[in-house]
Amino acid sequence: MCQSRYYQIQTHGVIFEAIDDEIVIINLDVGHYYHLTGVAAAIWTLLERNGSKDRIVTTVAAHFNLSEELINEQVQCFLDELENEKLVILNMQSTVEEGSEQVEHEFKAVGEFVTPRLEKYADMKDLLLIDPIHEVDEHGWPNRPPAVPAIILE
Amino acid sequence: MNQYISPYSFFRVAYSIFQQAEKDSPTAFTRSFNIARRRVRLRFANDRLAYMFTPAFEHLAVRHAEHLVSDLDICIIDSASTHKPLYMPRWQSRDYLRRGELQRYSNDQIITTYNYHDGTFNLVNLQDNIAIFWARDHDTLPWWIAGSPLQRIINCWMQKHGLQLTHAGAVGNKSGGILLAGKGGAGKSTTALACMDAGLYYVSEDYCLIGHEPQPYVHSVYNSAKLEPNTMLKFPHLEPFVANKNKQPHEKALIFQQDVCPQRIIDGFPIRAVFVPKRTDNHATVIEPCSKASALLALSASTMFQLSNCYQPTLRNLKQLLTSVPAYSLLLGTNLDLVTSSIIEFLGGEKMA
């Protein structure tokens, strides 16, 4: 029997907000930001309540009247993507209390099933400190490494 | 090597050195400004530092404020011109967070950042309402500081009062206006300047303060505009007002609207909508509803990655704005007159008196 997988939303350096059934996620450490809509946003909300992959698959399949086999593959791809982006952490046991009866509610605003996708934006990455402090001068001030160009803020 | 000290001790040491420099200097002086209805007093250790810090706030200047109580004092000093080195406590690389926050020298009341991009220390004492901007040498500060000075200090202190420094343009009339959200190059500057020329009021071109009480409201902070060469070509009448005439090739042209058209600058107005500009090759401009999440992304990403001390409360603050006002895509056409007429029509046809 396969052990169930649980996913926990990363709390270190990752912040997010839901607005109008969509999710905005910002990875402050890396400089990437993300947008989730539809099924992807609903899955993220399920992850907040209960990170069980099996439960997500069952819920999605039941709501859209689709086979669990098909949904399992697509949900796993999406969760792998979230994990690769370090937005979630894989656990072998739940760190969240068992989900409530509201789980089904997350899909009410979603129309047809669409493959969950993570929209990623990386255009702000250069604004972050890359390698902040290499050394200090004789007065103790930090020095910018000479190889790192100045970034012109708008 | 110096030892680790507490955040408050670091602040006290820095402040006492500043006070001594202020006392020793025959040219130390202060200027006061009303920023978001708070009196902010800039205390300069000498007159060599002022030229970079005051023009951007000039539209908010308070005259004859020497005896008035301030809400926030910002002490501005450099070591080169005052011959006062800043005491450097011990630190290690791991003491720094990604955007320069020095966590070892910060707590609930003291926020210390090393601004990697301009090489300055910024210390904010939220309890005593005193902040310190400390540079090594004012002659080596980057040009863009003059356009939007003291960003990190203003952001940290205003957050305490429920206001968020936000990367957005803002234009409108006295009864309300729009925010222009998006990263550099999206069309914020061009749209804001064109709207000003067409008769709307100007609050900001890139940074403004956003509050929620009693309604969504945008406050002006800087009267500056930083323009790429191709944007300058669209506004040739601004050429005589370029402040950094000897600019390097990588520098944008810096304009102070206070020099150009002070009567068209307003200190704030209620926010009626958030616009997300996108450039198109079409002749006409189209305003169409967009998802609030898209607008939140446009507003938050460039704000949060450019400023320090922006975490979940900042994202929540910007979300609160978007739950209160509608969001639109502004599909910018190539004809600037049609851009401005679309926005003026959206605002009900009202321009400044």
Which pLDDT tens digit goes with each residue over B204-245?
999 999 999 889 999 999 999 999 888 999 999 999 999 988
pTM of the model as a whole: 0.91
Higher-confidence position of A116 and B64 = A116
- The arithmetic mean of pLDDT across residues B159-163, rounded, is 95
Q: What is the distance between the alpha carbons of residues B192 and A77, in angstroms, rounded to a whole number?
A: 43
Higher-confidence position of B326 and A129 = B326
Residue A139 lies in a domain: no
Q: Tokens in use for B249?
A: 């090739």
For residue B214, whether the previous peptide bond is cis, meaning omega lies within 30 degrees of 0, is: yes
Q: Where are the beta strands (DSSP E) in A81-126?
A: 88-91, 119-121
Question: Could B250 and A35 be called an inter-chain contact, meaning their C-beta atoms sit closer than 8 Å?
Answer: no
Question: Could A129 and B250 be called an inter-chain contact, meaning their C-beta atoms sit closer than 8 Å?
Answer: no
The single-letter code of the amino acid at B9 is S
Closest residue on chain B to A144 (Cα): B116
Q: Say whether pLDDT at B122 is over 50.
A: yes
- Best mutation site among A10, A20, A24 for testing chain B: the one with the most B CBs within 10 Å? A24
Q: Where are the beta strands (DSSP E) in B51-109?
A: 61-62, 72-78
Closest residue on chain A to B143 (Cα): A152
- Tally Cβ neighbours within 10 Å of residue B263: 8
- Best mutation site among A10, A48, A123, A153 for testing chain B: the one with the most B CBs within 10 Å? A153
Closest residue on chain A to B94 (Cα): A133
Model pLDDT for residues B80-93, shown as the tens digit of each residue = 999 998 887 777 76
* Residue numbers in A near B292 (CB within 8 A): 19-20, 22
Residue A150 lies in a domain: no
**Per-residue pLDDT, B110:** 96
Residue with tokens 């370029």: B242
Q: Say whether pLDDT at B34 is over 90.
A: yes
Residue with tokens 């929209």: A119
* Residue numbers in A near B300 (CB within 8 A): 24, 26, 33
- Best mutation site among B117, B155, B322 for testing chain A: the one with the most A CBs within 10 Å? B117
Closest residue on chain B to A23 (Cα): B293
Residue A65 lies in a domain: yes
Higher-confidence position of B339 and B248 = B339
Picking from B229, B224, B181, the residue whose alpha carbon sits closest to that of residue B204 is B224
**Per-residue pLDDT, A98:** 55
Higher-confidence position of B150 and A94 = B150
Partner residue opposite A127 with nearest CB, options B297, B305, B322: B305
The pLDDT-based confidence of B67 (bands split at 50, 70, 90) is: confident
**Per-residue pLDDT, A103:** 58
Range of the domain at A40: 6-134
Sheet containing B72-78: order of strands: B61-62, B29-35, B38-44, B72-78, B130-135, B120-125, B110-115
Q: What is the distance between the alpha carbons of residues B305 and B209, in angstroms, rounded to a whole number?
A: 16
Number of domains in chain A: 1
The pLDDT-based confidence of A147 (bands split at 50, 70, 90) is: very low
Distance to chain A for B163, nearest Cα, Å: 19
The pLDDT-based confidence of A99 (bands split at 50, 70, 90) is: low
- The arithmetic mean of pLDDT across residues B281-293, rounded, is 96
- Could you tell me if B117 lies within 8 Å of chain A, comparing CB atoms? yes
Distance to chain B for A5, nearest Cα, Å: 28
Question: Could B306 and A127 be called an inter-chain contact, meaning their C-beta atoms sit closer than 8 Å?
Answer: yes
* Residue numbers in A near B226 (CB within 8 A): 154
- Could you tell me if A129 lies within 8 Å of chain B, comparing CB atoms? yes
Q: Provide the 3-class DSSP secondary structure of residue A44.
A: helix
Q: Tokens in use for A120?
A: 């990623």
Question: Could A17 and B315 be called an inter-chain contact, meaning their C-beta atoms sit closer than 8 Å?
Answer: yes
Distance to chain A for B218, nearest Cα, Å: 19
Residue A72 lies in a domain: yes
The single-letter code of the amino acid at A53 is K
Residue with tokens 């956003």: B210
Question: Could A150 and B85 be called an inter-chain contact, meaning their C-beta atoms sit closer than 8 Å?
Answer: no
Question: Could B300 and A33 be called an inter-chain contact, meaning their C-beta atoms sit closer than 8 Å?
Answer: yes
Percent of residues, chain A, with pLDDT higher than 90: 51
**Per-residue pLDDT, A92:** 73
Model pLDDT for residues B168-199, shown as the tens digit of each residue = 999 999 899 999 998 888 899 999 999 999 99
- Best mutation site among A21, A26, A130 for testing chain B: the one with the most B CBs within 10 Å? A26
Closest residue on chain B to A25 (Cα): B297
Distance to chain B for A69, nearest Cα, Å: 31
Higher-confidence position of A80 and B302 = A80
**Residue B172 CB-density burial (10 A; 0-12 exposed, 13-18 middle, 19+ buried):** buried
Residue A149 lies in a domain: no
Distance of CA A86 to the CA centre of its chain: 7
Please give the ipTM for the structure prediction.
Answer: 0.88
Query: Across the strands, what pairs with B288?
Result: B329
Distances (CA, A) of B53 to B41, B222, B262: 12, 10, 18
The rounded mean pLDDT for chain B is: 92
Higher-confidence position of A59 and B1 = A59
- Could you tell me if B100 lies within 8 Å of chain A, comparing CB atoms? yes
- The arithmetic mean of pLDDT across residues A51-72, rounded, is 92
**Per-residue pLDDT, B273:** 98
Picking from B244, B242, B236, the residue whose alpha carbon sits closest to that of residue B259 is B242
- Could you tell me if B247 lies within 8 Å of chain A, comparing CB atoms? no
Q: Say whether pLDDT at A133 is over 70.
A: no
Query: Across the strands, what pairs with B31?
Result: B42
The pLDDT-based confidence of A94 (bands split at 50, 70, 90) is: low
Q: Tokens in use for B1?
A: 């090597």
Residue A116 lies in a domain: yes
Distance to chain A for B68, nearest Cα, Å: 34
**What DSSP string describes B78-115?**
EHHHHT-PPP-----GGGB-TTSBBGGG--SSEEEEEE
Q: Say whether pLDDT at A97 is over 50.
A: yes
Distance to chain B for A62, nearest Cα, Å: 27
Residue A151 lies in a domain: no
CB A60 within 8 A of CB A75: yes
Q: What is the distance between the alpha carbons of residues B287 and A118, in angstroms, rounded to a whole number?
A: 27
H or E element: which one contains B95?
none
Higher-confidence position of B341 and B304 = B341
Distance to chain A for B312, nearest Cα, Å: 6
Partner residue opposite B315 with nearest CB, options A15, A133, A144: A15
The pLDDT-based confidence of A95 (bands split at 50, 70, 90) is: low
Percent of residues, chain B, with pLDDT higher than 90: 73
- How many Cβ pairs closer than 8 A exist between chain A and B? 108
Distances (CA, A) of B255 to B204, B244, B342: 12, 8, 25
The pLDDT-based confidence of B96 (bands split at 50, 70, 90) is: low
Distance to chain B for A4, nearest Cα, Å: 31
Distance of CA B243 to the CA centre of its chain: 18
Residue A96 lies in a domain: yes
The pLDDT-based confidence of B134 (bands split at 50, 70, 90) is: very high
CB B295 within 8 A of CB B274: yes
